Amino acid sequence: MIRKKLIAGNWKMNKTSADAVQLAQDLVTEIGKVVDIDIVICPPFTSLESVGKAIDGSTVKLGAQNMHHEASGAFTGEISAPMLRAFFATHVILGHSERRQYFAETDAAVNKKVIAALKNQLRPILCVGETLAEREAGSTLKVVQTQLEAGLEGVSKDLATSVVIAYEPVWAIGTGKVATTEQAQEVHAFIRTLLTKLFGEQVAQKVRILYGGSMKPANAPELLAQKDIDGGLIGGASLETRSFVDLVKAAV
């Protein structure tokens, strides 16, 4: 089973709308016709509309970094799936470790968002991963299993292929410490086994599992060559045209 690779850029809380449009335009010029892999950029909410317009007509897709599980209502400061769809977003990052750590997002909350995203034809990029303390305690696989199973609870077999999983060891995010290829492949293979138990072999072979955590053009080729690593969720290196373009090229 050949899975189409996916490179997603998580711009986090960076770039004004004008800066975001500039980066999006530069990316369209360089990689806007790439069809061999999927490319998604996830700007802040404030730039979704303008970036959506800047990438219109290219193969680069639009994603958001979070959303609320309800469609509308009294949830001050929140954004819903239908609002994201109105900007032609196709993907949404859910359960990022920064949301879990700084905004107290629980597995149950992440699960509601995953269900709501799928209901609205958005592809969730569900993030899972252990902290350094959890890795050192030998509980990496247990942590990943809990987050994955809870995050995917109630997802039907039919919709499971729309889900993207991102394995992001928390200790590797924004730290410059990348997981070794062996560490990453071990967890990715474990996730694939869990997906097989949940949804069967056929579905599990179709689900893309991204690696995230200090992925850079220099370490990407080795990571992307692993059997179960189907792309990357990129933070720091997605903020600059050259490095993101080089990451895309490493995946093609």
Site for ligand PEP in 8-27 (CB under 6 A): 10
Nearer to ligand PEP, 51 or 233 (CB): 233
186 is catalytic: no
User: Judged by CB under 6 A, which stretch of 71-79, 83-91, 154-162, 209-217 contacts ligand PEP?
Assistant: 209-217
Nearer to ligand PEP, 81 or 220 (CB): 220
Residues 6+ away with beta carbon under 8 Å from 57: 32
Residues 6+ away with beta carbon under 8 Å from 111: 150, 151, 152, 153, 154
Of the residues 234, 247, 248, 250, which one makes contact with ligand PEP according to CB under 6 A? 234
Is 66 marked within a binding site?
A: no
Contact 138, 104 (CB under 8 A): no
For residue 75, how many other CB atoms are within 10 A of its CB?
A: 11
Alpha-carbon gap, residue 100 to 71, rounded angstroms = 21
**Least spacing, CB of residue 134 vs ligand PEP, in Å:** 17
Contact 45, 76 (CB under 8 A): no
Is 236 marked within a binding site?
A: yes
Site for ligand PEP in 162-201 (CB under 6 A): 168, 173-174
Active-site residue list: 96, 168
Binding site for ligand PEP (CB under 6 A): 10, 168, 173-174, 212-215, 233-237
